Amino acid sequence: MVIKNWRRALLPAVVIAVVAVAPGAPSAFSETAAPAAEYERIVNGAFSSGAADPWWTGANTSGAVTGGEYCVDVTGGTANGYDALSGQNGVPYEAGQSYTLTFDARSTVAQPISAVAGEAVEPYRQIARTDVTVTPTSQTFTFTFESTLDFPAAGNGQFAFWFGGQSFDNTVCVDNVSLVGGVLPPPGLEPAAPLRVNQVGYVPGLPKQASLATDATTPLAWTLRNGAGASVATGQTTPKGHDAASDENLHVIDFSAYDQQGSGYTLKVGDEVSHPFDISATAMTGLRYDSLAFFYHQRSGTPIEARYVGDEYARPAGHVNVAPNQGDDDVPCRADLNCGYTLDVRGGWYDAGDHGKYVVNGGISAWQLQNSFERAAVLGDEAALGDGTLAIPEQSNGVPDVLDEARWEVEFLLSMQVPDGQPLAGMAHHKIHDAQWTGLPTLPHEDAQPRRLSAPSTAATLNLAAVAAQASRLWAPYDAEFSAATLAAAEKAYAAAKANPDRLADPNDGTGGGAYSDPTVTDEFYWAAAELFATTGRYRADVTGSPLFGGESIGVRGFDWAATGALGDITLLLVPRDLSTDTIRAAIVSTADTHLANMAAMGHPAPYRTADGGYEWGSNGLVANNGVVLGLAYDLTGTPKYRNGAFAAMDYLLGRNPVDHSYVAGWGDQPVRNVHHRHWANQLDPSLPTAPPGALSGGPNSALQDPVAQRLLPGCAPQRCWVDHIEAYSLNEVTVNWNSALAWLSNWTAERAVPPVTPPSGCKVGYSASTWQTGLTAQLTITNTGTTAWDEWRLEFTFSGDERVQQGWSATWTQTDRSVLARNLQWNTRVAPGGSVTAGFNATKTGTHTPPAAFKVNGQACTTA
């Protein structure tokens, strides 16, 4: 598996803590101690993966795996052994138990080193230490000792090598490091209650299902109880059998028939009682705003004010050149790049739990926020994302708040563009972050690290082109100057990318920030071309000439920051141009069908499937993005099964999963709290907050790519490879692109929580058109001839020729091939019996225009006037 967003959680404050261990203490190692048990306590002691993690280096040291060994370069001139060290944290020790330490070691120049078992935090107690002399010839050292202290797995136990105290520079290499002992096995999975539900709520009229882990092979009786504890429905579970994703025997509970709205419902099977939940059309509505609030919390370069987030989450501005910050207003390139200029890159969003800002991850995130608005304007509830809907400083400025929030990132993306007159002008720098990783916790305004720009990349440049082009068309009604500026930047970036099509980000540029390397940029080229085409009508050949044109990027794995072709497809569907999108539509529907088929076989259904059945870093982001595909399939077809699938994805994220947690902070009875983040760090510092409501955890990752995961979850089933721990960064990190996926899906489910009602009434459509050689203007009158009012209306018809709708009024207009769909606006949604609405459009054509032969309103055939 390629790790594309690797971040190492180095903790310098913990690393240097060992200096407090008394260097003169007698060794507790012995050749004659009792035999050790068989549990290995060191992670990655053989360095067989080629990576050093979770081994860290402290001051005066730097380490890397070379030739299968872990080699540490040591700076000379230090006074003590602990002035230059390397080790790993979270090592478990049990008082009174025996341990055997074994390692191979050699050095360029002979010198003494120490192997130390101890405590990583105050009062820095020592368990054992042994001193050996290493030489240019590799030697194997073996010692046993008995622990005097107790440290649980992923606790404050530490093992370290001391390399300091020498006058000369040196390189020391170690290999096959093993610490075997203790009687407690690795703790494995956290216990999870067997009865799992959406801990927030279910929607009347939609499926309502729960999962039960049980050894029973026959149906069991279940009871649904209301908030007062009274039984309101009963039934029998349906045995599902063994579920590979959770490695459990599961039953499904289906209580879809019960639709009485209320709060505090619970399910009961035998002695097991679920978390409480609501049945309500509005149970999840507020999540659309909490998920978007995440982005204000992540803003860089501005104070986060208590009036918008509360006192608990308020903080000073970060990286604004106020000590100890070195600021983002005058940032140079990495020293080895020697670019000769600096950039003012204040603003933007902190990408994740660190203080880096990345164009390729910020790009998809800003796009999803803007796309959620564009889709709502065409197919949904635009007003729900309008001005005054978010708690941000820009509220009440006459601009939809979701666009204001996205602009905070778009302006940062523009600032990352190489200036005119410089080599690679128009390209975008890949990222900006600290020169070295900061520790946990570190609030942004406390970050003293120098900031550095990484090299420009083709992928970053195309992200800029795509998002800026999208922003240009969305901002045109609100800020013409900004719209023009973003389009100019987009076209400049696209031209620069075409001139430099293979400048790939360095996969080894991972010091102080994630590398975000991507070996393939065909998808970014297609995405950028699609956005420019949608905005300008130009670049058509670049779109249709791409091997990805026509839905080739839409697949079961889903899209993310490194797989962006589907974003271009979605835009082509939403923004009418003279281009057939039938194959894109078919790809979305076909992929949605595959998701539904896969989910039908799962005990905890989620629209997620990899070739090997594993779960990868950020799996929850992919679940949410695949929920987007299901939602779009419903938008395109109106078929209920796709709506049900999108809501099932939310069920999984909100608690119907085998770890029995809601993966969304602040939502559900047992939500995630301790996400990997440098200032939502309550687990490490009680004075700091937990994750704010609406933050999405990365979710299960069966590759176990951090030391906490490796210690706590060996052998876990894919959906159970997760723990709510701040240092489990490969499982419990947050990022802007996962939250943008949640925000899109949350907005969609809020809209679709009330299933559309097709009234049992008739309709009549009048159609007239004025035509000229290359176009036409059409006017339609839509009349409700039934006895029941329409609370919304949807008009459908098909052209017989090559007519293409270019703009319309009094409705939102979309066209797929020859099929046209018009939906009501907010002001003309209701049509009383006998009432009418009028709407119209302008279209291009060639040849003679023939009026549509048939019309449907809300799926019903209409008479024609």
- Cross-strand partners of 160: 87, 116
Question: What is the secondary structure of 301-315 as a DSSP string?
Answer: SS-B-HHHH-TTT-B
Q: Which residue has the tokens 């894919």?
A: 718
Does residue 733 have an active-site annotation? yes
Do the beta carbons of residue 119 and residue 126 sit within 8 Å? Answer: yes
In 3D, which of 85, 736, 10 has the Cα closest to residue 434?
A: 10
In 3D, which of 3, 205, 145, 169 has the Cα closest to residue 76?
A: 169
Does residue 354 have an active-site annotation? yes
In this structure, how many other beta carbons lie within 10 angstroms of the beta carbon of residue 502?
A: 7
Cα–Cα dist 769/691, whole Å = 57
| 77 φψ region: left (φ > 0), alpha (ψ -120 to 50), beta (else) | left
How would you class 689 by CB atoms within 10 Å of its CB: exposed for 0-12, middle for 13-18, buried for 19 or more?
buried
Cα–Cα dist 460/493, whole Å = 9
**Beta-sheet strand order (sheet of 56-57):** 56-57, 85-89, 157-162, 111-119, 126-134
DSSP category for residue 455: P
| 696 φψ region: left (φ > 0), alpha (ψ -120 to 50), beta (else) | beta
How would you class 146 by CB atoms within 10 Å of its CB: exposed for 0-12, middle for 13-18, buried for 19 or more?
buried
Which of these is catalytic: 354, 387, 404, 616?
Answer: 354
Cα–Cα dist 852/859, whole Å = 16
3-state secondary structure of 796: strand
Which of these is catalytic: 83, 328, 724, 796?
Answer: 724
Does residue 724 have an active-site annotation? yes
Q: Which residues, in sequence order, are CB contacts of 636 under 8 Å at separation 6+? A: 573, 585, 588, 589, 816
Question: What is the secondary structure of 581-606 as a DSSP string?
Answer: -HHHHHHHHHHHHHHHHHHHT-SS--
Which of these is catalytic: 409, 733, 796, 803?
Answer: 733
How would you class 522 by CB atoms within 10 Å of its CB: exposed for 0-12, middle for 13-18, buried for 19 or more?
middle
3-state secondary structure of 317: coil
Which of these is catalytic: 251, 429, 676, 679?
Answer: 676
DSSP category for residue 801: S
Contacts of 724-728 with CB under 8 Å at 24 or more apart are 724/190, 724/661, 724/672, 724/673, 724/674, 724/697, 725/154, 725/674, 725/683, 726/440, 726/674, 726/675, 726/676, 726/677, 726/681, 726/683, 726/684, 727/9, 727/11, 727/90, 727/154, 727/440, 727/676, 728/676
Do the beta carbons of residue 88 and residue 158 sit within 8 Å? Answer: yes
Helices (H), 616-695: 619-637, 640-653
Q: Which residues, in sequence order, are CB contacts of 323 under 8 Å at separation 6+? A: none
**Beta-sheet strand order (sheet of 248-254):** 195-196, 209-213, 248-254, 238-243
Reduced DSSP (H G I as helix, E B as strand, rest coil) percent helix, strand, coil of the chain, to 5: 25, 25, 50
- Cross-strand partners of 265: 277
Can you give the C-alpha Rg of the chain in angstroms? 30
In 3D, which of 302, 371, 393 has the Cα closest to residue 740?
A: 371
Q: What are phi and psi of 835, to 5 degrees?
A: -85, 165
Burial 39-57 (b: 16+ CB within 10 A, else e): bebbbbbebeeebbbbbbb
Q: What are phi and psi of 172, to 5 degrees?
A: -115, 130
Active-site annotation, residues: 354, 676, 724, 733
